[in-house]
């Protein structure tokens, strides 16, 4: 087994009210761009970077998340990595920017179910009401002692990413808290 | 049916008896009872002993304001909760409770001798005595005082229960589900607001639960309550939380609510949280906490059986319990009359109503007469009798001097009402003195909050409903038929013919503070209420003065001779009621207390039996003992194996930051003391980072990957602060630079391969990199592949041996490690941990920031002046390095130490002196920072920070230890291969 | 726990996402000035703080959010934030502060 | 009236009606030789030592609220002196020397209880750092000894020393001479003793300005009760020091932070010493009343609100439960906040200021209570002699210019 995230998800986290799964291998990039005009960037790379902070745009295999005024996360299927490597290398040469491969820095969880937002509120202080945190919204925030990247992918579905060594901590938190659900 | 149970009354379920024990004796109550109501139903008033005088005490109230009836609630091993109010403890089958602060038992308590001598223990007595002889304090007095301390039993073993914590959000948070709170919730729910309604009791309704003869909009109060609760329960946007106490009100409408989940359940499945702390951010907070009845301060007011009038009303109305058969009511307020009437209407004999006032309203007078109750106006209770329970009282009429005695088994008192301002006060809301109510009431809000109902000084159900509705955004006006709430008076001193020094009139029951104590405090110069409180301990018991604060204030104000507003009001402090530590810790215990960060290779080390050490919140393999080896033996073996052939080390915890952008070099030049201008892509350099104050902050190898890209490494523990330090300067001071930072610590697993066979080991697995000595020199970096995965391969060494640091994407880390480890068997590859790493680097004199430096060491002090660029115009820390004390003579320098006895390994932290025979305090020159047994050298080596160390080469210094003194010679801190030849073997 | 309006995210976020970063508008002397400054002058920059009892200009870092440093005016007695503004903007005038309070 | 068991007995027989005021309220005179601004333990103590040791009795202590109402009455009452640097060990150990016997000296029981302070080490770095302290203390004559985990357990039986804990106990440093005292009594005891020596204690008298003469020297203070002249002024105002220094035209290297503390409900004796843990961030003792007294960390921002955040309390109690799972079921009774003034090196400033006649004692951060008698004595000495004593000489303002900081926290360093 070459690729190993070393996080087991116990069966108890596969409930009806809430279910947690570990995301498979992904290509991930941190992107910083000086220019405020992103159309040229799109022309060159095909990536549509959302301009508005804390929003995301999802294409078929690539999602771009705007997490800071000049900062994006690009998350893609692992199979797209070679292609994206090339495109972003090209962009690096053309723009005043920073592209950093962080594919292995993070691990991700998908949390779904009617009580998904309650599970998130066990450790994350943000308001998860759909009006306050609509589908597509994304942000870096905190889950107790772990910094996380939080994205709402549906009314009852979320993705949480964290640095890989914080993954077991989040998983343990989910296990403990879900006992009360 | 128990003797004092009134069938057909209250919310308890007569068909469900509940068996419990109190002090080992079996009792029966009903489903819905609290321990207090169940005990009262059994005719038991005596429930505990007071803190200081060990006086017998009974139940005073019916809710969380209870000062007296504290019990230890025993759910088995580790599950004894001390100081639980019997008035809020719901009973269940098998419940065990014990009284407190008594020995050997509640009825015969040895500590009761304190009561006999209470005249010698007035407020502040301990300040005045226990001082002579001085030696007695430590050995006699203080241990004695400590042994007398405490109320409830101390814990004996760990609490096996678990706790929960969550965040919540709403538009409107309503605290208190009495009439005001419920009306507010109904109104806010209609406005589509997200509403949370919390109440500390098991049943919502507050005063409505026991209200008699009240009609709301033509409905019986209980029917209106049922209907309203149904409406709320059906509404999607409303959450009603019961057994949930709002304990604190913090900045920006952040309210902590503690929910008790299992204390009322007979058998709890393991793993279920006992309590849950909800941390709620609310748009608006409506406080409907109600009010608390004030006791009257009279001689003998603490005898079991003396209780608040409203409590007796609640016991009757909500629990169907008569608090006695023959009751005297003593009041200064109209509201107690309703209590008397309700009891009388339930066929409980009211021996008399004693009212301080000379005159009451005609309506009341008529109602009294209609029930043929003996009414004694202008009078007060001058004493009470009964040992463990009241059996009579004497009523004194000051105007005539007349004294009358009454037999009674309960005495109800009412000194008026105090609005509950606790949470309002936490929120820093303003308050003002209302002379009519003789109480503080809310004034200017500090948060988006409002008080409604009794806690706003608006007593009565109609007033509460209307205020609640308005606060919830509604306009409805209720029509309520209810007895008039009425009014009362407040006196600081009740008329009595008995000399005040002979009276025992308690203000704070639990802490045994009497009226005399408060007056004594004032007499001794304690004239602000905070002083009075601290001197007498009034209001500092587990009830935090809910029933006593205002009485104390009234008495102090009169004694000082200033209006109440000038004497002040002690600040209410969170929590509203005592809150379990476990609940405030929530889920965060054990493995959830702090994350334990583990590297990708950690599971391998664990499987190999490594011993780990915590480093920051990382855990790192410390050493890898083989059968029977201790740390010393394992480390000696690991060191030798690495120097002789090959060692493998997990360096993944090293912090990493990718610095990218056209101005990357300019930025690096500003952040590090070294110069980066001349570093070519593909090469590495040791980087030294200073704080602005000139002291060493962090260090690490930095690789220039491209013109505009640096791969920076930091110490393992230092990564977060270095990142912050860089971002801070970049965003604040160096905004003009086009450069960005990305933390990549966890992107890379790092495998350090060291030893003469390092190159031979990796060669077969590396693609796309020429590993030859010339093509890939020391301090170079290359990108290629290893074991088929991408790598940034560094040729660096923290051991002095030929070394490589293999960076691979983390999730491949373990596989690559295992592949290399397997292949390394032919070189007798040895995995080593942090301890061996420390020894190997110390043999070379490489520093560990934080061990060999300590935040007071400059680069020059550490012998690293070479890492400070001379030509740069600016870098962080540059100016501070020129400060007079940083260039002064006599600073401490980092040097090497060799003990005269090569077998002595100095203790890290040991102090160094020039003259070991000087008297204490000695003139210390410095201390040992690193010290190890060097297997390679066959002797100990040490590094030390020593005053003027560079100028003491070859000098012999002394390390005085208990019982012995070690001699050591000052040397350069490079012990092994000083010329660095081993870097270039083969 | 405060609720702090981040001027970059343009929304209120809980305090635990933020790290306090000290008094604002203390400008680091440039290289030339550093060279000319006495130790005493330098210590003013390094250590001396207004520590006002009142409206305080201070920096915060939205560490667990957009990662941006920004400035805020907060009253140190009431703990109430008057305003927050982006890094690089100058210290607000008394009038701007008064307007922000409305 | 002298306090003793005898006087207590005699007064009991007269119904305690004849006890005199402990520190009578005085109207301010027109002028004093020395005005001390700040009626906490430090300020009252300084007034006492001025009168007692230096014969300067024309002294007033001005307190804006009620004496002992600031940090004196809001701290966790820990007393210890096992500091690393000679300078710190010097001033704190001097304080401990004075704590010993203070009850007798003041004829007021301050309940100094030498129950020992045990500082727990949880990682290799803690062990190194504590050993360094123990060795330095030994050679400085300061009591502090190293205990193995088992010795820690022997001393404190409720301690869990199992190795599989998240933060295992790897040993501890024990100062046996250290302990706790009754905080309010310290203020009241000094106030009563100073008052008897002729010092005027004036409460509810906020200082609103410091007047300086043409030569720059101080002349007096403006107060809520009018102008009061003074030849010398000593400021000992903890969290409000910056505000007062500003009145004299001085800007100081100080920042004021909220610091919270809390107590549990009282329970029977269970914890026989003070326990501190830097790695887990908590400290705890049990008061003579039975309450567990627990210190929290500072909030992150500067503030004068005397109000802190809930998450600080949560973290503190998490830590307490982590070290002592036995306390998980205890209940928090009361929490509160104080304002601590912190210098860049977290060591105090005790000495002269650039303004003639103005002296300062500030910057004690979280360490103020334990230093009370020492700081008071040093402030009094400095005022009386217009020059610092050798114990407080290193705690001057100039160290921030030259860079000779006394940085205990930096020396405890950080994890590597």
- Copy the structure tokens of residue B254: 């952040």
Q: How far is D107 from D112, CA to CA, in rounded Å?
A: 13
Mean pLDDT of C93-98: 96
CATH class name, domain B505-569: mainly alpha
Could you tell me which of A107, A89, A109, A103 has the C-alpha nearest to residue A18?
A109
**Does D317 contact B851 at a Cβ distance shorter than 8 Å?**
no
State the smallest CA–CA distance between residue B696 and chain C in angstroms: 16
Q: What is the pLDDT of residue B139?
A: 80
What 3 state SS string does B386-413 have? CCCCCCEEEEEECCCCEEEEEECCEEEE
Could you tell me which of B710, B721, B713, B632 has the C-alpha nearest to residue B676?
B710
**Does C21 contact B874 at a Cβ distance shorter than 8 Å?**
no
Residue owning tokens 């501070």:
B880
Could you tell me which of D68, D292, D343 has the C-alpha nearest to residue D158?
D292
Paired residues of B255 in beta bridges: B249, B280
**DSSP of D39-63, one letter per residue?**
-SHHHHHHHHHHHHHH----EEEE-
Rounded to a whole number, what is the largest CA-CA distance in chain C?
A: 45
**Does A4 contact B599 at a Cβ distance shorter than 8 Å?**
no
* Percentage of residues of chain A with pLDDT beyond 90: 93
Out of D73, D113, D332, the one facing B581 most closely (by C-beta) is D332
Taking one residue from B and the other from C, the number of pairs with CB-CB distance under 8 angstroms is 53
pTM: 0.96
Mean pLDDT of B137-158: 84
Helix (H, G, I), strand (E, B) or coil at D267: strand
The chain C residue lying nearest B254, using CA atoms, is C1
Residue D122 and residue D279 in contact, taking contact as beta carbons nearer than 8 Å: yes
Phi, psi of B639 (to 5 degrees): -65, -45
Contacts of D237 (CB under 8 A, 6+ apart): D37, D38, D40, D43, D70, D243, D244, D362
Count helices and strands in chain B by DSSP H and E runs: 25, 52
pLDDT, one tens digit per residue, over B423-452 is 999 999 999 999 888 899 999 999 999 999
Q: How far is A87 from A42, CA to CA, in rounded Å?
A: 11
- Copy the structure tokens of residue B941: 């080596």
Paired residues of B72 in beta bridges: B98
State the smallest CA–CA distance between residue D135 and chain C in angstroms: 32
Same fold, B622-841 and B881-983: no
**Does B879 contact C29 at a Cβ distance shorter than 8 Å?**
yes
Question: Any long-range contacts for B428-436 (C-beta under 8 Å, 24+ apart)?
Answer: B428/C78, B428/D305, B428/D307, B431/B569, B433/B563, B433/B564, B433/B565, B436/B487
Residue B59 and residue B87 in contact, taking contact as beta carbons nearer than 8 Å: yes
Q: How far is B823 from B650, CA to CA, in rounded Å?
A: 17
**Does B251 contact C42 at a Cβ distance shorter than 8 Å?**
no
The chain B residue lying nearest D189, using CA atoms, is B127
Q: Which residues of B touch D15 (CB under 8 A)?
A: 499-501, 516
Q: What is the pLDDT of residue A1?
A: 54
The chain C residue lying nearest B670, using CA atoms, is C31
**Does A103 contact B747 at a Cβ distance shorter than 8 Å?**
yes
The helix (run of H) or strand (run of E) holding residue D382 is: helix D368-385
Q: C19 and chain D: CB distance < 8 Å anywhere?
A: yes
State the smallest CA–CA distance between residue C95 and chain D in angstroms: 23
- Give the confidence band of B303 by pLDDT, cuts at 50, 70, 90: very high
Taking one residue from C and the other from D, the number of pairs with CB-CB distance under 8 angstroms is 67
- B97 preceded by a cis bond (ω within 30 of 0): no
Q: What is the pLDDT of residue D415?
A: 38
Paired residues of B514 in beta bridges: B506
Complex-level ipTM: 0.97
- Find the helix packing angle between B549-560 and B529-536, rounded to 10°: 110
Alpha-carbon radius of gyration of chain C:
15
> What's CA B302's distance to the chain center, in Å?
34
Q: How far is B303 from B306, CA to CA, in rounded Å?
A: 6
Residue A139 and residue C9 in contact, taking contact as beta carbons nearer than 8 Å: yes
**DSSP of C45-102, one letter per residue?**
HHH-----SSEEEEEEE-TTTT--EEEEEEETTT--EEEEEETTSPPPPHHHHHHHH-
Contacts of A176 (CB under 8 A, 6+ apart): B162, B587, B592
Q: What is the pLDDT of residue B138?
A: 80
- Give the confidence band of B1 by pLDDT, cuts at 50, 70, 90: low
Alpha-carbon radius of gyration of chain D:
21
CATH class name, domain A11-23+105-178: alpha beta
Q: For chain A, what are the domain ranges?
A: 11-23+105-178, 26-101
Residue B74 and residue B35 in contact, taking contact as beta carbons nearer than 8 Å: no
Reply yes or no on whether the pLDDT at B825 is more than 50: yes
The chain D residue lying nearest C23, using CA atoms, is D302
Q: Which residues of D touch B537 (CB under 8 A)?
A: 289
pLDDT, one tens digit per residue, over B909-931 is 999 999 999 999 999 999 999 99
CA B308-B311-B312 angle, 5° bins: 95
- Copy the structure tokens of residue D327: 């306390």
Out of B660, B789, B811, the one facing A100 most closely (by C-beta) is B660
**Does B254 contact C79 at a Cβ distance shorter than 8 Å?**
no
Q: How far is B758 from B641, CA to CA, in rounded Å?
A: 12
Paired residues of B52 in beta bridges: none
Out of C19, C29, C39, the one facing B884 most closely (by C-beta) is C39
Say how many residues make up chain D. 416
Q: What is the pLDDT of residue D17?
A: 86
> What's CA A86's distance to the chain center, in Å?
22
**Does C66 contact A147 at a Cβ distance shorter than 8 Å?**
no
- E-strand stretches of B151-237: 162-175, 195-198, 215-216, 219-220
Q: What is the pLDDT of residue B125?
A: 85
**Does C43 contact D400 at a Cβ distance shorter than 8 Å?**
yes
Could you tell me which of D309, B423, B277, D286 has the C-alpha nearest to residue D296?
D309
Q: Taking chain D (416 residues) in consecutive chunks of 10 residues, what is each chunk's mean pLDDT?
A: 86 86 94 98 98 98 96 94 95 97 95 96 92 96 96 96 92 96 96 98 97 97 98 96 96 96 95 93 93 92 94 96 96 95 96 98 95 98 98 97 90 51
**Does D304 contact C77 at a Cβ distance shorter than 8 Å?**
yes
Could you give all domains of chain D from N- to C-terminal order, each with its CATH number? 25-81+84-107+182-253+345-412 (3.50.50.60), 117-177+256-342 (3.30.9.10)
- In B684-713, the residues whose Cβ lies within 8 Å of chain A are none
Q: C98 and chain D: CB distance < 8 Å anywhere?
A: no
- Sign for the CA dihedral angle at B579, B584, B585, B587 comes to positive
Q: What is the pLDDT of residue D416?
A: 40
Q: Which residues of B touch A106 (CB under 8 A)?
A: 746
State the smallest CA–CA distance between residue B429 and chain C in angstroms: 11
| A98, A121, A147, A174: best to mutate for the B interface, most B CBs within 10 A | A98
Residue B657 and residue B668 in contact, taking contact as beta carbons nearer than 8 Å: no
Fold of the domain built from segment(s) A26-101: Alpha-Beta Plaits (3.30.70)
Residue owning tokens 């500090």:
B446
**Does D267 contact B119 at a Cβ distance shorter than 8 Å?**
no
Mean pLDDT of B649-665: 98
Residue B314 and residue B203 in contact, taking contact as beta carbons nearer than 8 Å: no
Q: Which residues of B touch D69 (CB under 8 A)?
A: 528, 530
Give the pairing of strands B291-293 and B480-481.
unpaired
Q: B446 and chain D: CB distance < 8 Å anywhere?
A: no
**Does B873 contact C39 at a Cβ distance shorter than 8 Å?**
no
Residue owning tokens 């005399």:
B516
**Does B582 contact D167 at a Cβ distance shorter than 8 Å?**
no
Mean pLDDT of B500-508: 93
Say how many residues make up chain C. 102
Q: Which residues of C touch A147 (CB under 8 A)?
A: 63-64
CATH class name, domain B881-983: mainly beta
Out of C16, C63, C66, the one facing A53 most closely (by C-beta) is C66
Q: Which residues of C touch B731 (CB under 8 A)?
A: 68-69, 87
Helix (H, G, I), strand (E, B) or coil at B732: helix
State the smallest CA–CA distance between residue A101 and chain C in angstroms: 19
**Does B618 contact A100 at a Cβ distance shorter than 8 Å?**
no
Q: Tally Cβ neighbours within 10 Å of residue B398.
A: 15
Contacts of B153 (CB under 8 A, 6+ apart): B72, B80, B82, B98, B100, D267, D268
CA A28-A30-A31 angle, 5° bins: 125
- Copy the structure tokens of residue B423: 């949470």
**Does C2 contact D256 at a Cβ distance shorter than 8 Å?**
no
pLDDT, one tens digit per residue, over A95-133 is 999 999 999 999 999 999 999 999 999 999 999 999 999
Q: How far is D6 from B124, CA to CA, in rounded Å?
A: 15
Mean pLDDT of B454-458: 96
Give the pairing of strands B375-376 and B379-385.
unpaired
| C7, C18, C63, C65: best to mutate for the A interface, most A CBs within 10 A | C65
Q: Which residues of B touch A128 (CB under 8 A)?
A: 169
Q: Which residues of B touch D200 (CB under 8 A)?
A: none
Mean pLDDT of C58-80: 98
Superfamily of domain B622-841: Probable tRNA modification gtpase trme; domain 1 (3.30.1360.120)
**Does A165 contact B812 at a Cβ distance shorter than 8 Å?**
no
Helix (H, G, I), strand (E, B) or coil at B364: helix
Chain C interface with B: residues with Cβ < 8 Å: 1-3, 14, 19, 21, 27-31, 34-35, 37, 39, 42, 46, 59, 61, 63, 67-69, 78-79, 87-88
Chain D interface with C: residues with Cβ < 8 Å: 240, 242-243, 251-256, 300-305, 307, 309-311, 341, 343-344, 400-403
Contacts of D162 (CB under 8 A, 6+ apart): D168
pLDDT, one tens digit per residue, over B543-600 is 999 999 999 999 999 999 999 988 887 789 999 999 999 999 999 998 999 999 999 9
CATH class name, domain C3-101: alpha beta
**Does C76 contact D304 at a Cβ distance shorter than 8 Å?**
yes
Q: Which residues of B touch C29 (CB under 8 A)?
A: 879
Taking one residue from B and the other from D, the number of pairs with CB-CB distance under 8 angstroms is 342
The chain C residue lying nearest A70, using CA atoms, is C66
């Amino acid at each position: 087994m070459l690729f190993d995230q070393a996080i087991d998800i116990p069966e108890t986290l596969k409930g009806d009210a809430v279910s947690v799964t570990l995301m498979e291998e992904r290509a991930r990039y941190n992107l910083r761009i000086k220019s405020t005009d992103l159309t040229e960037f799109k022309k060159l790379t095909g990536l549509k970077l959302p301009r508005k902070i804390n929003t995301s745009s999802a294409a078929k295999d690539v999602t771009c998340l705007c997490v800071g005024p000049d900062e994006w996360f690009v998350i893609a299927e692992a199979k797209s990595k070679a292609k994206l490597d090339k495109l972003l290398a090209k962009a690096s040469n053309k723009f005043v920017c920073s592209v950093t491969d962080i594919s292995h820095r993070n691990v991700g969880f998908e949390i779904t179910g009617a009580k998904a937002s309650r599970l998130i509120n066990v450790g994350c202080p943000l308001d998860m009401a759909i009006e306050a945190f609509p589908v597509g919204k994304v942000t870096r925030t905190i889950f107790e002692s772990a910094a996380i990247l939080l994205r709402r992918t549906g009314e009852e579905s979320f993705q949480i990413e964290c640095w890989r060594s914080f993954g077991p901590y989040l998983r343990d938190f989910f296990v403990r808290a879900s006992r009360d659900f | 049916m128990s003797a004092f149970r009134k069938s057909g009354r209250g919310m308890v379920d007569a068909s469900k008896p509940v068996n419990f024990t109190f002090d080992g004796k079996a009792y029966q109550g009903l489903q819905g009872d609290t321990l207090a109501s169940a005990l009262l139903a059994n005719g038991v008033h005596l429930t505990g002993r007071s803190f200081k005088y060990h006086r017998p005490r009974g139940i005073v109230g019916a809710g969380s304001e209870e000062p007296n009836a504290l019990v230890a609630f025993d759910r088995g091993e580790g599950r004894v909760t001390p100081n639980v109010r019997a008035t809020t403890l719901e009973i269940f089958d098998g419940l065990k409770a014990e009284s407190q602060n008594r020995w050997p038992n509640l009825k015969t308590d040895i500590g009761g001798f304190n009561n006999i001598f209470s005249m010698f223990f007035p407020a502040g007595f301990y300040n005045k005595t226990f001082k002579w002889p001085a030696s007695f304090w430590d050995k006699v007095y203080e241990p004695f005082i400590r042994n007398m301390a405490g109320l409830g039993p101390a814990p004996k073993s760990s609490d096996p229960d678990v706790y929960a914590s969550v965040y919540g959000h709403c538009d409107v948070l309503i605290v208190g589900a009495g009439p005001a709170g419920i009306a507010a919730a109904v109104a806010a729910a209609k406005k589509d607001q997200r509403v949370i309604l919390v109440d500390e009791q098991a049943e919502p309704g507050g005063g409505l639960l026991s209200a008699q003869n009240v009609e709301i909009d033509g409905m019986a109060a209980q029917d209106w309550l049922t209907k309203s609760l149904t409406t709320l329960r059906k509404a999607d946007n409303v959450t009603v939380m019961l057994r949930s106490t709002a304990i604190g009100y913090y900045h920006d409408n952040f309210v902590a609510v503690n929910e008790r989940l299992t204390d009322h359940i007979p058998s709890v499945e393991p793993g279920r949280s006992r309590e849950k702390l909800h941390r709620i951010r609310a748009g608006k907070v409506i406080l409907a906490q109600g009010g608390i009845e004030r006791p009257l301060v009279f001689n003998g007011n603490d005898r079991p059986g003396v209780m608040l009038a409203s409590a007796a009303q609640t016991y009757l109305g909500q629990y169907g319990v008569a608090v006695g058969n023959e009751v005297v009511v003593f009041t200064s307020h109209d509201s107690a009359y309703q209590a008397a009437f309700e009891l009388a209407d339930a066929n409980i004999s009211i021996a008399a109503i004693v009212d301080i006032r000379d005159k009451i309203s005609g309506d009341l007078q008529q109602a009294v007469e209609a029930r043929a109750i003996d009414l004694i106006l202008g009078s007060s209770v001058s004493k009470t009798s009964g040992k463990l329970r009241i059996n009579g009282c004497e009523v004194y009429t000051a105007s005539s001097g007349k004294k009358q005695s009454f037999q009674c088994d309960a005495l109800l008192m009412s000194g008026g009402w105090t609005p509950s301002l606790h949470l309002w006060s936490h929120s820093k809301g303003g308050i003002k003195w209302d002379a009519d109510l003789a109480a503080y009431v809310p004034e200017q809000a500090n948060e988006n909050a409002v008080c409604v109902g009794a806690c706003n000084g608006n007593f009565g159900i109609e007033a509460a409903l209307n205020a609640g509705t308005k606060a919830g955004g509604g306009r409805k006006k209720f029509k309520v038929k209810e007895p008039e709430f009425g009014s009362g008076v407040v006196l600081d001193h009740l008329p009595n013919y008995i000399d005040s020094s002979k009276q025992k009139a308690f203000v704070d029951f639990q802490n045994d503070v009497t009226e005399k104590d408060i007056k004594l405090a004032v007499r001794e110069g304690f004239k602000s209420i905070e002083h009075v409180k601290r001197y007498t301990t009034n209001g500092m018991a587990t009830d935090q003065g809910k029933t006593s604060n205002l009485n104390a204030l009234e008495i102090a104000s009169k004694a000082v001779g200033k209006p109440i507003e000038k004497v002040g009001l002690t600040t209410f402090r969170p929590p509203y009621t005592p809150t379990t530590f476990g609940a405030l810790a929530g889920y965060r215990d054990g493995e959830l207390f702090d994350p334990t960060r583990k590297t990708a290779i950690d599971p391998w080390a664990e499987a190999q039996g490594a011993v780990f050490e915590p480093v920051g919140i990382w855990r790192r393999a410390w050493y890898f003992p083989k059968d029977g080896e201790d740390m010393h033996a394992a480390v000696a073996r690991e060191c030798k194996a690495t120097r002789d052939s090959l060692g493998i080390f997990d360096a993944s915890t090293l912090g990493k930051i990718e610095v990218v952008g056209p101005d990357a070099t300019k930025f690096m030049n500003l952040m590090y003391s070294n110069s980066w201008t001349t570093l070519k892509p593909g090469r590495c350099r040791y980087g030294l980072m200073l704080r602005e104050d000139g002291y060493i902050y962090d260090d690490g190898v930095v690789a220039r990957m491209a013109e505009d890209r640096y791969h920076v490494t930091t110490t393992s523990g230092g990564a977060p602060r270095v990142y912050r330090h860089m971002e801070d300067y970049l965003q604040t001071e160096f905004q003009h630079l086009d450069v960005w930072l990305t933390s990549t610590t966890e992107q890379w697993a790092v495998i350090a391969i060291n030893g003469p066979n390092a190159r031979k080991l990796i060669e077969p697995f590396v693609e796309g990199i020429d590993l030859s000595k010339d093509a890939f020199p020391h301090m170079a970096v290359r990108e290629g592949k290893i074991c088929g995965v991408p790598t940034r391969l560094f040729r660096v060494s923290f051991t002095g041996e030929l070394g490589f640091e293999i960076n691979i994407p983390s999730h491949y880390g373990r596989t690559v490690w295992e592949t290399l480890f397997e292949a390394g068997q032919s070189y007798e590859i040895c995995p080593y941990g942090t301890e061996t790493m420390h020894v190997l680097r110390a043999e070379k004199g490489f520093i560990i920031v934080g061990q060999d430096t300590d935040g007071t060491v400059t680069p020059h002090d550490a012998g690293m002046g070479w890492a400070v660029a001379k030509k740069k115009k600016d870098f962080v820390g540059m100016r501070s390095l020129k400060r007079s004390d940083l260039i002064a003579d006599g600073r401490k320098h980092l040097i090497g130490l060799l003990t005269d006895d090569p077998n002595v390994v100095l203790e890290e932290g040991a102090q160094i002196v020039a003259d070991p025979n000087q008297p204490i305090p000695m003139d210390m020159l410095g201390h040992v920072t690193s010290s190890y047994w060097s297997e390679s050298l066959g002797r100990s080596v040490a590094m030390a920070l020593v005053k003027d160390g560079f100028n003491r080469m070859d000098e012999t210094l002394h390390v005085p230890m208990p019982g012995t003194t070690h001699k050591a010679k000052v040397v350069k801190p490079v012990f092994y291969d000083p010329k660095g030849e081993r870097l270039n073997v083969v | 726990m405060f609720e702090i309006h981040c001027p970059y995210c343009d929304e209120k976020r809980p305090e635990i996402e933020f790290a306090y970063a000290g008094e604002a508008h203390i400008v680091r002397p440039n290289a030339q000035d550093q060279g000319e400054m006495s130790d005493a002058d330098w210590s003013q920059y390094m250590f001396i703080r207004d520590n006002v009892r009142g409206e305080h200009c201070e920096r915060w870092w939205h560490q667990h959010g957009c990662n941006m440093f920004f400035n805020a005016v907060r009253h140190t007695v009431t703990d109430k934030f008057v305003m927050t503004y982006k890094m690089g903007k100058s210290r607000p005038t008394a009038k701007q502060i008064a307007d922000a309070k409305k | 009236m002298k306090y003793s068991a005898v006087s207590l007995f005699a007064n009991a027989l007269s119904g305690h009606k004849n006890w005199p005021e402990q520190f009578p309220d005085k109207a301010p005179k027109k002028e004093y030789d020395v005005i001390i601004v700040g009626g906490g333990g430090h300020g009252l103590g300084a007034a006492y030592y001025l009168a007692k040791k230096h014969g300067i009795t024309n002294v007033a202590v001005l307190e804006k609220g009620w004496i002992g109402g600031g940090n004196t009455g809001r701290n966790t009452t820990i007393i210890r002196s096992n500091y690393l640097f000679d300078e710190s060990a010097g001033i704190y150990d001097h304080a401990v020397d004075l704590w010993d016997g203070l009850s007798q000296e003041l004829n007021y029981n301050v309940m100094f209880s030498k129950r020992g302070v045990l500082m727990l080490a949880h990682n290799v770095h803690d062990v190194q750092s504590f050993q360094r302290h123990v060795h330095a203390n030994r050679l400085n004559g300061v009591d502090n000894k190293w205990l193995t985990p088992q010795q820690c357990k022997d001393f404190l039986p409720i301690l869990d020393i199992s190795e599989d804990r998240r933060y295992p106990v790897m040993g501890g440093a024990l100062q046996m001479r250290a302990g706790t005292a009754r905080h309010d009594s310290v203020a009241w005891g000094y106030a009563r003793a100073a008052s008897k020596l002729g010092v005027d204690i004036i409460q509810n008298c906020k200082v609103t300005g410091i007047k300086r003469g043409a030569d720059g020297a101080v002349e007096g203070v403006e107060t809520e009760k009018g102008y009061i002249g003074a030849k010398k002024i000593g400021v000992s105002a903890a969290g409000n020091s910056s505000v007062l220094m500003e009145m004299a035209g001085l800007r100081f290297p100080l920042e004021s932070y909220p610091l919270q503390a809390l107590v549990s409900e009282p329970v029977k004796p269970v914890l026989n010493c003070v326990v501190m843990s830097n790695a887990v961030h908590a400290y705890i003792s049990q008061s003579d009343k039975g309450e567990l007294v627990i210190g929290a960390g500072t909030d992150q921002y500067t503030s004068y609100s005397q109000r802190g955040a809930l998450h600080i309390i949560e973290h503190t109690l998490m830590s307490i439960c982590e070290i002592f799972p036995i306390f998980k079921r205890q209940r928090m009774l009361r929490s509160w906040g104080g304002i601590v003034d912190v210098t860049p090196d977290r060591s105090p400033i005790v000495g002269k200021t650039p303004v003639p006649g103005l002296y300062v004692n500030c910057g004690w951060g979280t360490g103020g209570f334990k230093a009370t008698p020492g700081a008071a004595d040093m402030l009094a000495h400095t005022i009386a002699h217009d020059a610092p004593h050798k114990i407080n000489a290193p705690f001057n303002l100039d160290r921030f210019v030259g860079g000779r900081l006394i940085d205990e926290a930096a020396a405890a360093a950080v994890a590597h």
